[in-house]
Chain A
Amino acid sequence: MILGLYNYWVVVVLMMIGLYIVIAHGNLIKKIVGLNIFQTSVFILYISIAKVEGGTAPILIDGVIQYSNPLPHVLILTAIVVGIATTALGLALTVRIKEAYGSIEEDEIQAKDNKEC
């Protein structure tokens, strides 16, 4: 049934929300939050691909036959940590931009850039 694909639709909805926030808002911190939402939706995509019906967590225990797929878990573990590194750097850049330009709105920064000094 088509309804068996609902996890992908949830992921697409979250991804589009994150994309909209990045495109449409001018405040730099809101863009970073939107990027975070986008990243988390990609994680949910991979983890939902890894789930196997009737499986449990991929830790070997006696008496369990069916496990979920451990490979996407590994990839997403790396991705989460890289995501936090990117967010930290983005926030550091935002602080410096605020010090240099005096504001964190995209329009004002571009106006200051275009103004001939």
Chain B
Amino acid sequence: MHYLTDPFQYEFIRRAVLAAVIIGVLCAALGTFIVLRRMAVVGHALTHSALPGLVIAYLMGGSLFAGALIATVLTALGIGFLARDENVYEDTLVGMVPNIMFAFGILLISTTKSFRDLFSMLFGNILGITDGDLHLIMLISAVSLIALFLFYKELKLFSVDPNYAKTIGMPVKFMHYGILLFLSFTVVVGIQAVGTVLTNALLVIPVAAARLLTDRLGVMMILSCIFAVLSAIGGIYLSYYFGSASGASIVMFAALIFALAWVYKFIYDYKAK
């Protein structure tokens, strides 16, 4: 039993667990719509695009959070804007923009010859989270979750039948940009936990696992949140006992849950035949 409680004697672990739980819930709740709207690659694009913002903020001594947020929001709106006239396919843009942004970030940091901080930007450092970070995470998560709750019904219709949503007068363009905006918020929060490279994993893997187990949207969201929280806490334990990188441990834990869900589904379907 003390294996479970031991880590909690440290303040930084308690803070990390709390942050991980909040981030996990936010990523899974929004991730549900991202996955169902087939926007998982957009999440991937945004997570990678945060890097130059982080680096510029770091070089200027500003808030990393603000830097990442600005870079991500600009990318999200930029992709939405460029995809509008269909001269370049949206998936081409989504495949292209993150690489450019990522390369730009690496280029910037390579001028400083300091790669130590780059590591935590790329892979996250949830064990090093400060009180200030935690407050910001709470604020962003609260706003995003309230928005999800308020617009749940509209998001549902917009995802299943966007044309019908438009015919009854829903501002579908506005909603699309809204989702991108909240995705940016979530990505920036996720970066704190698992870094730019792995945040998309937290948005997608728990949801993908939940989708295997249920056909109900509400149940799927709750399951996704549970899986994300389990992954976050499990990852921190792994990191604590084996000294592994926290972000990567969280993602591997999520992958393990996905694998178990997949096997369960496989056996269930096999028996049903």
A binds B: no
Q: Chain B: residues with CB nearer than 8 A to chain A?
A: none
Q: Chain A: residues with CB nearer than 8 A to chain B?
A: none
